[in-house]
Amino acid sequence: MAFLPVPLRDLPREINRRIRNSRAWKSFFRSGYPDNRKDQAQIVIGNVFLHLHPVKVPTNAIRITYTYCLGGISFLLFLILTITGVLLMFYYVPSVERAYNDIQALSTTVAFGQLMRNLHRWAAHGMVLSVFLHMMRVFYTGAYKPPREFNWVIGVTLLFVTFGMSYTGYLLPWDQLGIWAITIGLGFAGYTPFFGEQAKQLIFGALEINQDSLLRFYVLHVIGLPLVAAVLMSVHFWRIRRDGGISTPL
Amino acid sequence: MAEAATQEIGLFNRREFLRLGFWAATALAAAEIGGAALVFFWPKLKAGAFGGEVNIGTLEEILPQLPMDAVPLYFREARFYLSHVEDGLLALYRKCTHLGCVVPWNYEEDQFHCPCHSSLFNRKGEWQGGPAPRPMDLMGIDIRNGEIWVDTGEISQRTAYVPSQAVPI
């Protein structure tokens, strides 16, 4: 084993050392492993993803029976919906000629297509439920009270955006269930005071559900509403920190 | 980088072993997801489209339209010409063997005439002129129960026409 720079038993450690001392590793991580409280806090503050999160969370605030992790579950479901949704977009065309057949093909001929579709479906139902339960939890624990009242407002907006994503997704399979459900919504929009007709045409792009409605709902579903949700979620998480950290049980 | 002051036993200490286990499990999960993604994205070639075996009809349907030495029949979707020569049928891939242009049949000259650099081929796909380095490529023809199947996924090159390339009818 003369060609090895170190004895075989030291090889894993030597590889580890060389990777961590490499220029690429150091440029990526900049600092070493944070093994003390100060460095750990510094990394949470300095990391673009982690900085939204409070550096320190009180132990009794993350007790499972206090938060039930409902906000975290909602976010996880949103991530699952994003990933599975992007995968579904590879096999779905929002046209009245193709939409229904594309969904049938996804369920029957595409490998893992049915799995992705059902993950998307159940995660969507779950997200509506978990966002609603999260709001209930915040209400019953009084976590909406000052100084957190504006985060409650953002949260309610997120609830409506969630409903919007769920509703717009309902039409996309272009089956009888979706078409008539959305037709009912079209009727609702018509009852808007003063400008019902205009609201109908603006939201649905037509006087009855057709290709234009499908395209509008598709664009709202895959980019419009998720983009709004992502921005609002960032602010929602960040404000937890800005408003003095997560609320704690009394 | 704080090294754990642990007793050295074998290749790894406990922390290094657990870390390696974590990364191995992560790599395994990533490989599974990568493999599944590959299967998910792999296109399903539609039956009858270019790339698979195409049924172009029965001999009874085709032959009346294509007597011997007639103008080759063009199958645009499957990207070949069916040619009837004295030894049988030939499926000629439409792509020019020079630089890959689509070669059309020229009715006035009674031969294939490539519009890009004037490569010329006859009914058998044999080279007649121009810069093309070899005859037109062939697709496999299989006649089963009187139906003509052309395998558009199996394209073979040749240096010259020999009668065994044609499928007798």
Contact A5, A14 (CB under 8 A): yes
Whether residues B61 and B26 fall in one domain: no
Closest Cα in chain A to B11: A9
Please list, in sequence order, all residues whose beta carbon lies within 8 angstroms of the beta carbon of residue A239, skipping any fewer than 6 positions away. A148, A150, A151, A154
Chain B hits for A26, Cβ within 8 Å? none
pLDDT of residue B1: 43
Output DSSP code: residue A97: T
Best to test chain B binding among A39, A112, A115, A117 (most B CBs inside 10 Å):
A112
The pTM of this model reads 0.75
Give me the residue from B1, B11, B44 closest to A20, CB to CB: B1
Tell me the count of A-B CB pairs closer than 8 A.
Answer: 28
The angle formed by the CA atoms of residues B141, B147 and B148, to the nearest 5 degrees, is 25
- pLDDT tens, N- to C-terminus, chain A (250 residues): 567 778 877 887 888 889 888 999 988 887 777 889 898 888 888 888 888 888 888 888 888 888 899 999 999 999 999 999 999 999 999 999 999 999 999 999 999 999 999 999 999 999 999 999 999 999 999 999 988 999 999 999 999 999 999 999 999 999 999 999 999 999 999 999 999 999 999 999 888 899 999 999 999 999 999 999 999 999 999 999 888 888 887 7
- Beta-carbon separation of A12 and B11 below 8 A: yes
Asked if A87 has any chain B CB less than 8 Å from its own CB, the reply is: yes
Contact B168, B85 (CB under 8 A): no
Has residue A63 been placed in a domain?
Answer: no
Residues in chain B: 169
In a domain, A195, yes or no: yes
Q: Which of A115, A111, A135 is nearest to A123 (CA)?
A: A115
Number of domains in chain A: 1
pLDDT of residue B2: 47
One-letter amino acid of B23: W
Cα→Cα distances B84→B65, B88, B112, Å: 10, 6, 14
Its domain, for residue B26, covers: 9-42
The Cβ-side half-sphere exposure at A39, using a 13 Å CA radius, reads 10
Average pLDDT estimate for B135-148: 91
Could you write out the DSSP letters of every residue in B93-124? ESB-TTT-PBPPEETTTTEEE-TTT--EE-TT
Query: CB–CB of B44 and A113 under 8 A?
Result: no
How many Å separate Cα A143 from the centre of its chain? 22
Domain interval for residue A118: 69-242
Structure ipTM: 0.74
SS3 category, A74: helix
Residue B57 in domain: yes
Identify whether A83 is part of a domain.
yes
Q: Report H helices in chain B.
A: 14-41, 59-65
We report the CATH number of the domain holding residue A104 as: 1.20.810.10
The model's pLDDT over B150-169, given as tens digits with 9 standing for 90+, comes to 998 889 999 999 888 988 88
